């Protein structure tokens, strides 16, 4: 229907895009109320501050076309959010039934002039009223999010609120603005997934890529194949965490019932978040093969994996297996109404296919020369099935190596190159590169950052992410749909940790993907982030501080935690959590999977008589595939249970102490080991390295303390 309102003034919207600075600097200098940046993330495309204010009072009217159920839904959710965050109650009234003075008006009109289309909107806060226009419901929703942010510069509960007068015209730079959530490595509750979707939507992120299956767990109920969740959704954790206080095996896992999924999909749709389900194949399938061993390639029956890393298990390529997967995907497509299904395709080591007589026979029958081409044939069959059901396939960039179905979307994770090549070859691309957008990398060097990969991806790094490489021709750049950040959860055992990794780095990504490139302004972002973090905290989100307010405690010169020790070779560093105790806090070790060896640089040894070292052991539950040859051999032990060696002036220097591990070997948590040594003058590099047979468990240092002579 035609609305009774028009945007506050006509302006040349399109001309402002890409030239935000000139558009935004045209108005006269803002009055005091605008002295601070408006509390908006992502920064809108065009913001025109004005001198007045609108006074919003408790009980004010929110007028909306109630004939339009979507618009009415958006208005009601907005009213709920304002009541929850500011304590101001709005009365939702149907269009035409209430005076517009002092009211908020949500107007949805497909033909509205001078209003951006699609996800765009036009918002005018004037002294008499607030007018939000959009042509489509999703635009109305994003306008309501902007208005909510304007009203939540802080989150104290009030009965009236002064809103700065402003005109905002906005639309996104990229269509695909997303995050990937790995619910396979660790399971998150349906309630958490909904909370996460809330936060995505409030950042105008519109895509949740949901990684639902992997070697460590199958998380989606498939009615036709119940064992996928009866067996595949559960694993016994590695190491001490695999046994409970009564000595019984622990069963870790969970899955989403089809009712859970329908509920989550509905919830997401109401917030304009499209869920892209991922069923990863032909690798990352160990949990499915554990449930239905006939899917496997080498005829054995694995367990659901308690390990991390690249696993060997691949499904076979028989017609029955492809039919099984098609039946699974039929249930998946019935549950997820969005246009895309992600079929993985990543990290499918071909060893099992090479060793599998049935796969080799199939390849010969099909005249397929090598296993990579076989993966191409396999995924093409799956793609054809999905296309017949109206779905577009998404795959990790390995699909480029085996012939990409022309309509498939390539998700570039091994850096940007795959995405750039794919775009030049005419494929649509989503950038999701590691390490750039992999949020399992730690966000600050604070010693209390939770486990993850220690190569930092700071908030500023994410903010600086640019999906389109410089110089890419416009017709190629048109294939860059957008980008997403990945929340792989091997190291995120709790939902709190997922949120800590996600926020505020997803705020930074949201701005990089929504706002015009010319509007990118790190200083402005950090100012706008303060009220944003307050909002997120008020909603119970375990948001990190973005590494901005953390003052590092002064370092005791005689003590080093593992994060403050230098790795000896730094081949593959991880910050790993101990697997014990079962309850309560666990130690966190900065260690190296290939070479667990640490240097205390320039240790001040004058007056030092020895050392106390807190050590722990974690299961070596990492599948390194062919990289296993890179493991640095441990020195030979002299004690039955192994030793911790301390050497002077580096790892080939004089032995200072050989500390047997017998006291620590029976303690699954942290044990303090001590040793003394004769006086040494001056400052020296001390090397700490474990000597034991094999490489499991992974012995690790928690903390080193030099002990003074008495």
Residue 73, φ and ψ in degrees, nearest 5: -60, -45
| Residue 666 buriedness (CB in 10 A; 0-12 / 13-18 / 19+) | exposed
Give the CA distances from residue 418 to residues 167, 225, 343, 498, in Å, rounded to whole numbers and listed in that order: 41, 35, 17, 27
Check 284, 385, 441, 479 and give the catalytic one.
284
For residue 31, give every residue at least 6 positions away whose Cβ sits within 8 Å of its Cβ, in sequence order, or none: 51
Residue nearest to ligand ACM (CB): 346
Known catalytic membership, residue 214? yes
Residue 413 beta carbon to ligand ACM: minimum distance, rounded to whole angstroms: 4
Residue 424 forms beta bridges with which residues? none
Distance CA 363, CA 360 (A): 5
Cβ atoms of residues 655 and 342 within 8 Å: no
Distance CA 281, CA 464 (A): 33
Known catalytic membership, residue 126? no
Distance CA 510, CA 203 (A): 6
Structure token pair of residue 147 = 């208005």
Residue 343 beta carbon to ligand ACM: minimum distance, rounded to whole angstroms: 12
Structure token pair of residue 521 = 């302004």
Check 43, 198, 214, 440 and give the catalytic one.
214
Closer to ligand ACM by Cβ: residue 342 or 528: 342
Residue 372 beta carbon to ligand ACM: minimum distance, rounded to whole angstroms: 17
Residue 310 beta carbon to ligand ACM: minimum distance, rounded to whole angstroms: 8
Q: Check whether the bond before 435 is cis (ω within 30° of 0).
A: yes
Task: Write down the residue that tokens 């159920």 correspond to.
Answer: 69
Please count the CA atoms within 13 angstroms of the CA of 493 that sit on its side-chain side: 14
196 binds ligand ACM (CB under 6 A): no
Diameter of the chain measured on Cα atoms? 90
Cβ atoms of residues 147 and 132 within 8 Å: yes
Closer to ligand ACM by Cβ: residue 62 or 432: 432
Give the CA distances from residue 617 to residues 241, 574, 659, 702, in Å, rounded to whole numbers and listed in that order: 12, 14, 15, 10
Q: Where are the beta strands (DSSP E) in 117-192?
A: 121-125, 130-134, 160-170, 176-182
347 binds ligand ACM (CB under 6 A): yes
Closer to ligand ACM by Cβ: residue 308 or 396: 396
Distance CA 163, CA 33 (A): 9
Q: Where are the beta strands (DSSP E) in 473-558?
A: 480-487
Closer to ligand ACM by Cβ: residue 593 or 661: 593
For residue 87, give every residue at least 6 positions away whose Cβ sits within 8 Å of its Cβ, in sequence order, or none: 58, 157, 158, 159
Distance CA 240, CA 698 (A): 13
Closer to ligand ACM by Cβ: residue 347 or 521: 347
Residue 378 beta carbon to ligand ACM: minimum distance, rounded to whole angstroms: 18
Among 246, 129, 121, 239, smallest CA distance to 172 is for: 121
Cβ atoms of residues 428 and 439 within 8 Å: no
Cβ atoms of residues 617 and 586 within 8 Å: no
396 binds ligand ACM (CB under 6 A): yes
Contact code string over 24-63 relative to ligand ACM, x by CB under 6 A: ----------------------------------------
308 binds ligand ACM (CB under 6 A): no
Closer to ligand ACM by Cβ: residue 398 or 507: 398
Closer to ligand ACM by Cβ: residue 151 or 315: 315
Residue 396 beta carbon to ligand ACM: minimum distance, rounded to whole angstroms: 5
346 binds ligand ACM (CB under 6 A): yes
DSSP string, 510-532: HHHHHS-GGG--HHHHHHHHHHH
Distance CA 116, CA 7 (A): 11
Check 263, 318, 331, 347 and give the catalytic one.
347
Start-to-end CA distance of the chain, whole Å, equals 87
Residue 346 beta carbon to ligand ACM: minimum distance, rounded to whole angstroms: 4
Residue 495 beta carbon to ligand ACM: minimum distance, rounded to whole angstroms: 21
Residue 593 beta carbon to ligand ACM: minimum distance, rounded to whole angstroms: 16
Known catalytic membership, residue 592? no
Cβ atoms of residues 444 and 575 within 8 Å: no
Residue 493 beta carbon to ligand ACM: minimum distance, rounded to whole angstroms: 19
Structure token pair of residue 422 = 């794919």
Cβ atoms of residues 402 and 380 within 8 Å: no
Task: Write down the residue that tokens 């939702």 correspond to.
Answer: 92
Cβ atoms of residues 504 and 124 within 8 Å: no
Residue 106 beta carbon to ligand ACM: minimum distance, rounded to whole angstroms: 40
**Interface with ligand ACM: number of residues (CB under 6 A):** 5
Contact code string over 411-450 relative to ligand ACM, x by CB under 6 A: --x--------------------x----------------
Find the binding residues for ligand ACM in span 113-132 (CB under 6 A): none
Give the CA distances from residue 162 to residues 7, 54, 149, in Å, rounded to whole numbers and listed in that order: 21, 6, 13
Catalytic site positions:
214, 284, 347
What residues line the site for ligand ACM (CB under 6 A)?
Answer: 346-347, 396, 413, 434
């Amino acid at each position: 229907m035609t609305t009774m309102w028009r945007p506050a003034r006509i302006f040349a919207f399109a001309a402002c895009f890409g030239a935000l600075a000139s558009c935004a600097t045209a108005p006269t200098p803002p009055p005091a109320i605008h002295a601070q940046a408006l509390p908006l993330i992502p920064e809108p495309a065009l913001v025109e501050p004005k001198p007045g204010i609108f006074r919003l009072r408790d009980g004010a009217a929110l007028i909306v076309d109630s004939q339009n159920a979507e618009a009415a839904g958006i208005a009601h959710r907005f009213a709920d959010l304002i009541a929850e965050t500011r304590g101001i109650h709005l009365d939702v009234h149907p269009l035409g039934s209430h005076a517009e003075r002092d009211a908020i008006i949500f107007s949805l009109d497909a033909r509205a002039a001078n209003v951006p289309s699609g996800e765009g909107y036009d918002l005018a806060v004037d002294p008499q009223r607030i007018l939000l226009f959009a042509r489509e419901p999703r635009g109305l929703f994003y306008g309501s999010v902007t208005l909510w942010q304007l009203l939540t510069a802080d989150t104290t509960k009030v009965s009236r609120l002064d809103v700065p007068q402003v005109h905002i015209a906005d639309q996104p730079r990229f269509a695909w603005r997303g995050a990937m959530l790995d619910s396979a490595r660790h399971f998150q509750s349906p309630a958490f997934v909904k909370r996460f979707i809330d936060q995505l939507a409030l950042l105008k992120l519109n895509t949740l890529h949901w990684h639902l299956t992997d070697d460590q767990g199958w998380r989606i109920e498939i009615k036709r194949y119940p064992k996928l969740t009866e067996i595949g959704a559960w694993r016994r954790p590695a190491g001490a965490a695999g046994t409970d206080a009564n000595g019984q095996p622990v069963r870790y896992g969970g899955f989403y019932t089809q009712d859970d999924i329908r509920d989550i999909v509905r919830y997401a749709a109401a917030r304009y978040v499209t869920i892209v389900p991922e069923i990863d194949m032909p690798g990352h399938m160990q949990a499915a093969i554990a449930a239905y061993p006939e899917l496997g390639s080498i005829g054995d029956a694995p367990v659901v994996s308690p390990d991390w890393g690249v696993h060997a298990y691949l499904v076979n390529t028989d017609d029955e297996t492809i039919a099984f997967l098609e039946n699974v995907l039929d249930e998946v497509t019935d549950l997820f109404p969005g246009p895309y299904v992600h079929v993985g395709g990543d990290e499918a080591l071909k060893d099992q296919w090479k060793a599998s007589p049935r796969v080799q026979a199939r390849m010969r029958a099909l005249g397929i020369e090598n296993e990579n081409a076989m993966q191409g044939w396999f995924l093409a069959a799956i793609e054809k099935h999905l296309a017949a059901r109206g779905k577009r396939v998404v795959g990790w960039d390995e699909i480029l190596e085996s012939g990409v179905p022309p309509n498939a979307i390539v998700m570039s994770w091994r850096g940007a190159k795959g995405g750039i090549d794919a775009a030049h070859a005419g494929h649509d691309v989503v950038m999701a590169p590691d390490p750039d957008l992999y949020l399992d990398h730690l966000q600050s060097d604070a010693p209390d950052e939770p486990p993850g990969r220690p190569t930092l991806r700071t908030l500023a790094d994410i903010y600086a992410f640019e999906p389109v490489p410089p110089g890419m021709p416009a017709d190629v750049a048109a294939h860059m749909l957008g980008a997403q950040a990945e929340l792989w959860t091997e190291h995120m055992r709790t939902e709190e940790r997922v949120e800590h990794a996600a926020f505020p780095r997803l705020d930074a990504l949201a701005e990089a993907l929504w706002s015009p490139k010319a509007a990118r302004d790190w200083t402005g972002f950090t100012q706008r982030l303060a009220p944003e973090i307050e909002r997120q905290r008020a909603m119970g989100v375990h948001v990190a501080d973005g590494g901005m307010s953390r003052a590092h405690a002064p370092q005791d010169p005689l003590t080093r935690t593992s994060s403050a020790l230098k790795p000896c070779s730094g081949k593959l560093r991880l910050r790993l959590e101990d697997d014990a105790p079962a309850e309560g806090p666990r130690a966190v070790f900065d260690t190296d999977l290939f070479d667990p060896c640490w240097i205390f640089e320039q240790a001040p040894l004058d007056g030092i008589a020895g050392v106390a070292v807190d050590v722990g052991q974690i299961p070596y539950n990492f599948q390194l595939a062919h990289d296993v040859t890179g493991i640095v051999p441990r020195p030979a032990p002299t004690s039955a249970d192994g030793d911790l060696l301390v050497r002077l002036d580096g790892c080939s220097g004089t032995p200072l102490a050989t500390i047997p591990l017998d006291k620590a070997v029976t303690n699954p948590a942290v044990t303090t080991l001590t040793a003394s040594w004769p006086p040494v003058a001056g400052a020296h590099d001390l090397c700490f390295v474990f000597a034991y047979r094999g490489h499991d468990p992974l012995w690790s240092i928690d903390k080193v303390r030099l002990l003074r002579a008495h």
